[in-house]
A and B are shown apart, each in its own frame.
Chain A
Amino acid sequence: MTKQDASVELVHVVKRYDDVVAVNDLSLIIGEGEFFSLLGPSGCGKTTTLRLIGGLETPDSGDIFISEEKVNDRPPYERSSNIVFQNYALFPHMTVKDNIAFGLRLKSRRTPEPEVEKMVAEALELVHLGDFGARRPDQLSGGQQQRVALARALILRPRVLLLDEPLGALDRKLRKTMQIELRRIQQEVDITFVYVTHDQEEAMSMSDRVAVMRNGNFEQIGSPQEIFESPRTRFTADFMGASNIYSGRVTAVVGAAVDRAPAGTALIDTESGIAVISHNNRELSSGAATSFSIRPETVQVFPRNWEWQADNKFDGKIIGKLYLGDVTELEVNLAEKDSIVCRVGSRIDQDFGFKEGDPVSIGWNAEDCNLLSD
């Protein structure tokens, strides 16, 4: 990304609370018009990062730029960013309309009242709350309050909209609807969104890019697909819901000594004693300790005597079965010591008639092994 289209830039930003380092030397460039998510468990520093950009916290060291302008010492009311708060933070003593018009009516903006009326009506329309202007926040449902908070922030046309787990308090169905809605609005207004969440599905479904955070650091930054399919660390793999993570040691690299392995691969012996062929994009050398993850949907399952090919093929028994609607998860033991979770289409599961205790053969290809660092 070139510097010209940077919307938000963090340069070695550090924030401490007393002895606790909340944000540890973060550097990041978020592009103009990007939907960027900060994803991580609670306490990872994602909300602090958001508040630093918004100006509600000041960094202990490092610089923050919004549209290439250094804003370190700018108070929140002089920044071209707006926040949608986790609890919405609607003013309880004002109507919905007055809440939305709050920023416009301030002296610093001096918007003439007819203009305010028009803009508020447009904003209410944008979030599908046309008739709710006269109500008070406590007369609205959680989803409606959320929309008001969004309208109140968007009406000021910020360069960056900062959203702090805005869907956290909504029920599952409404959350799905609002995810689509948020994405629509973001494309409509064409504003950079920085979105904080601990829900990996939410981050994946909406974002252009995701930064996985842990202990005030970025664990990995990439497109949802990259992070989902090729997590670089054990933490990211675990957080993105990969259930098959194994540790082991590299016994050989490249095709040289191993006839069944193609070039660019490594042979790994896991702690549970399984020899696995993995592609080697980490330039691992023989003898190195490593770990890898395998996504459940890349593991194939067939009855024991089925004719088929895979780089890694093992015999096992089904020890658990979980029906999840369109897919079914099968847990299969590996070499009596370990187990692997496979996700197959429920139709395939029904065709084969898999039951607990059935002998099966499972397998995956070398490129589906995703090497991890700790």
Chain B
Amino acid sequence: MNRTSPRLLSLGCVLLFVFMYAPLLVVIVYSFTPTEYGVSWQGFTLKWYQAVLANENIKHALKVSLMVAIPTVLISTAIGTITAFTLYRYKFFGRALYQGILYIPLIMPDLIIGVSLLLFYTFLNLELGVFTILLAHISFSIPLTTLVIIARMQRIDRSLEDAAMDLGADEWTTMRKVTLPLLKPGILAAALLAFPWSFNDFVITFFVSGIGSSTLPIRVFSMIRLGVSPVINALGTLIVVVPLILVVIGLLLERRRV
């Protein structure tokens, strides 16, 4: 038992890595090879990256993605901080229910969220575009940021705030000088997780984007429909590597102890 299970475990790890990262590796390798449809390595090139940077459609889509992701990060982190603070600090009617509801968007299929948001925005007579994408992204990011910040908040010793008040700080000063600084790693982690959460979203965005305002994932999808070009490999590599770095930083910050 104790001799075989580590072997099984390591086999599992190897399989996980193969199935997770081998396809990514293929994309990355092909993004540097000059042949357009070949499957064999034919030397090193950066021309597909140049093609990515020269493509106006891609640049526009990237702009839309950032126009959505950056405000999403700022707004959902701010609202998440306030929500977390309220949920954790104050007792009010329906608190447990509210906290439970927070988890629902995280487990509900994107398809359902996308359809319901589309129906809702149409019902409100909103014109589909960058604004509706932004609204949708803020909506589904708030549960994420709130839960990350609550997790951090639970590690803060309540008596630190008692101590600050006892030493003469009023509620607002206590929040500013003690609570927020201690919460900072959690807030940063929430922001760094919310960014790729928004930047990578395809399904929900697909429903609420309308015509002419595609984000990067939507643009990639429409390019693939015309055939897989190495340009997509290069773009894919960029899309994978940049948010990955952000997520890793986010997790490291979250893990750092108080």
Q: Taking beta carbons and an 8 Å cutoff, which residues of A are in contact with B? A: 54-56, 75-77, 81-83, 85-87, 89-93, 102-103, 106-109, 152-153, 156
Contact = CB atoms under 8 A, between A and B. Distances in A.
A193 B166 CA distance: 16
Interface in B14-72: none
B112 interface: no
A109 B173 CA distance: 13
Main secondary structure of the interface of A (DSSP, over half): loop
Nearest to B159: A89
Interface of B: 157, 159-160, 162-170, 173, 177-178, 181-182, 258
A106 B182 contact: no
Nearest to B156: A92
A106 B166 contact: no
B188 to A, nearest CB: 14
Given A56-B162, A76-B162, A92-B182, A102 B157 contact: no
Given A75-B170, A106-B169, 20 more contacts: A55-B165, A55-B166, A56-B162, A56-B165, A75-B165, A77-B170, A82-B166, A83-B162, A83-B163, A83-B166, A85-B163, A89-B159, A89-B163, A91-B164, A91-B178, A92-B182, A93-B181, A102-B169, A102-B177, A109-B168
B218 to A, nearest CB: 42
A83 B169 CA distance: 14
Contacts of B163: 83, 85, 89-91
Given A92-B182, A92-B258, A106-B173, A152 B167 contact: yes
Contacts of A107: 173
A330 B169 CA distance: 56
A56 B168 contact: no
A89 B173 contact: no
A103 B181 contact: no
A64 to B, nearest CB: 15
Contacts of A152: 167
Contacts of B159: 85-87, 89
Q: Which of B165, B168, B173, B178 has the most CB of A within 10 A?
A: B168
Given A83-B163, A91-B178, A77 B258 contact: no
A89 B170 contact: no
Contacts of A102: 164, 167, 169, 177
4 closest pairs, A vs B, by CB? Answer: A103-B167, A89-B163, A89-B159, A76-B165
Contacts of A86: 159
